[in-house]
Every structure is written in structure tokens, then in C-alpha cells.
Amino acid sequence: MEPTPGVLQGRRIVLGVSGGIAAYKAIEVCRRLVDLGAHVVPVLTEAAHNMVGPTTFTALASEPVKTSLWRDADPIPHTTMGQGADAIVVCPATARIISDLRTGRSGDLLSATLVATAAPVVVCPAMHTEMWEHPAVEDNIEVLRRRGVVIVPPEEGRLAGGDIGKGRLADPATVVEAVVGLFTPGPLAGRRVLVTAGGTREPIDPVRYIGNRSSGRQGHAVAAIAAALGAEVTLVTTSSLPPPDRVDLVEVETAAEMHDAVTAVAADADVIVMSAAVADFRPASSADQKIKKSGGPPVVDLEPTVDILAALGRVKSPGQVLVGFAAETENLVDNARDKLVRKGADLLVANDVSAPGVGFAHETNAVTIFGSDGSVRDVPLTDKTAIARAVLDEAMARLPDSESADQ
């Protein structure tokens, strides 16, 4: 979508250009940011000067190019720029500047400015595939993501030297969209979303448990999209998947721990998405020591767990949207409709986990979303991020508008 003209009016953006072949594309990013009203301060590393001429940036940006910590009239250009910036975008970002930002190393003007700012930072990596996939770079990116740095991932395509692969700088329009996104409240801004994910593990003894095949991928995708749409997100999960950016993570293992964690925040949530596969039964007691084989096959007595979704359905506050999931292997429509009513949910996301490409172990899913108002929406096989977006779209459509929510 084309950004609204003037959307960056009055915003001071430091455009950091590091020394990658893709530096020439930063010229287009600079022009687009200025066209949208931004005051653009271009900072080129020494290496970037080998790739592009500073004159072009100086001509297109709002200030002349800066490169040195020492040759500026201002004795502390990095703090002046870092403090004054509304955002810093590093485009292209080499493996070196990414590493500097991760460690806080501040050996040149751009890296020092990045350390001297509290403004949001957008990093647009561009490098050869081998470098992008190196564990050091992957690790650095992961840390930056967790700190809230917006990463605009590189794309597949032609790289320097004629190689083809992942590592090409994202399209200038995508980079600019990420910058604009920093200043545009998402449709879930000001809303609290609680998501559960993964399968619970109910201990039999200190080394064994009763579990299930849920990976947590679908719930983590819901949390990630909700955060990207501007919500304040709490993710209660049993999964060891990397947590999405900008979510409060609560790690749990058992149904009882999940129940406690959910109960602690549920009353304040505008949307609750119960995508976790919660055990229905747990061992009535867990042995203190590992059960030995010599004692013969053990008898494990089970007792029911609390049905968290049904409990939430009973105390649902007005305006709160409660979403359940159901993994079925037969009679999907009847089972889903029954669960929707029985558990007091507003939406029930049902999938037939016996279908190809659907459910636990897959990156993809296909669901039908049933509404308590009788609505039925089919989402055919797609990635779990698209499913997450469809589920949140349905939830958002049922939220009272902000004015009435504030009352």
C-alpha cells in the first residue's frame, strides 16, 4: 500500500548507510523518505564511500552527509544525532554494523549514533547468503529482534558477483513501509491480547510426562501478528520456539501452571486466544523419584485438569473476545459447534489434524473459524502467519470500538 503523503512530516530520520554493494538503493530510500515529509540526516560509514558518492545523498537528503566522529563542527555529533532522531534506519546493514549494534561497539559515527539513541531502529541487512546464514549473524539478528529492533529481512535474488540467493536488500518501498509503520498505530494499538501456545506436559515422575504433539507454532504466530498490529501481548507458552518480538513471555509446563498464568492477566485482556493444546487429564500424583522398570508396568491414575477456556467463558467480561481452538480428527463441524457453545467462546478455530499439511508438525494449516453469531469462515491451506491474521481479523471485528471499550 502506498504511504499517505506527508505521513513522515516533522519526523527526523537518521539514514545510516554501511558499506554494502546495495548502498546505491539507499539513495532511493532517502528520496522516498524526504518525499513523505521526513527530515533525513544521512550518515555514511567510511566503507559506504567506496560504494556510493556522498554528493548524491547530500543533494537529496535534508542535511549534508556525515561520516566522521571527529571532523564535524559539533564535538559530539553521535549524541546530538542519536538524541534528536525519531528513528534510525540502517540501509543496507552489513554483518559488521549488525555486530556493532549487538555488542554496543561504537567505533565510528554510525555505530556510535546507534548506541547513543533511544529512538526506534530499523535494520535492513544485505549480504551474501553465506554471511546471512552464518551462525554469528543469525545470533546477532536474533538478539536485536528481541531488543525490539525492527529487522527488514533480505530477499532472494541476484547478489553481487552474479550469485543468486537470500541476502539481497529488501525493496526500497518495503524499507520505507517499515519506517512509516513505526509512526502508524496498528489496529490493535491500546488493546491487550493474551495468547496460549504449545502442548502442556503433565509429569509422571521427574523424567517422564504425558504430553501431546503441539509445537506451539500457531500460537506463537498469533502472538507475533497481534504484536505487529500494535497490541500489548502476553504469550503463555510451553514451547521452546524463539519468542516473537515485543511480547511478554510467560513460560509454563503444566495445565495448572498455564491456568495460573492465564488467570493472572485474563481479566484485563481484550482478546484471549487459547491455541494451546491443554491436557484434559494429568497423573493424580507425580512420583518423587524416577519410576524403575524393575517394579513392572506402573499404573498411572489420572485426574481431570481445569478446562481453562471453559473457565474463562464463565467469567468473560463484557466486550472481551474469547477464541478457542479445536484439533479434530472426525465430525469437525459438529464437534467445533458443540465446543463453541459448551466453552462459552466467541470464536472457535477448528482444524482437521488428519488432513495433509494441517496441524501440529507443519508450517502450514487450514482451519474453519466458527462464530457464536453463526458465522463460518474457511481459511484454506496456508502458512500459520496467514491463519493467525485471519483469526485476529475475526476477533478485531468483534471488539467494541475504542470509545465504548473505554467506558
* Residue 314 CB, nearest approach to ligand CTP (Å): 12
The answer to whether residue 307 forms part of the interface with ligand CTP (CB under 6 A) is yes
Closest alpha carbon to 283 in 258, 254, 310:
254
74, three cell numbers: 559539533
Closest to ligand CTP by CB, 57 vs 370, is 370
Site for ligand CTP in 315-354 (CB under 6 A): 324-327, 339
Widest Cα–Cα separation across the chain:
82
Closest alpha carbon to 236 in 215, 256, 225, 251:
251
How far, in Å, CA of 47 to CA of 54, rounded? Answer: 12
Stated as kind and residue range, the H or E segment containing 302 is strand 302-304
**The dihedral sign for the CA sequence 106, 110, 116, 118:** negative
Q: Show the site string, 25-44: x = touches ligand CTP by CB under 6 A, - = not.
A: --------------------
Q: How many residues bind ligand CTP (CB under 6 A)?
A: 14
The answer to whether residue 193 forms part of the interface with ligand CTP (CB under 6 A) is no
303 exposure class (CB count in 10 Å sphere: 0-12, 13-18, 19+): exposed
How far, in Å, CA of 367 to CA of 380, rounded? Answer: 7
Catalytic residue ranges = 212
Pairing of strands 202-203, 192-197: unpaired
Find where cell 497481534 sits: 226
Site for ligand CTP in 377-396 (CB under 6 A): none
- Selected range binding ligand CTP among 5-13, 109-117, 213-221, 306-314, rule: CB under 6 A: 306-314
* Residue 330 CB, nearest approach to ligand CTP (Å): 10
341, three cell numbers: 457453545
Q: Show the site string, 267-286: x = touches ligand CTP by CB under 6 A, - = not.
A: -------x-x-x-x------
The answer to whether residue 119 forms part of the interface with ligand CTP (CB under 6 A) is no
List residues binding ligand CTP (CB under 6 A).
Answer: 255, 274, 276, 278, 280, 305, 307-309, 324-327, 339
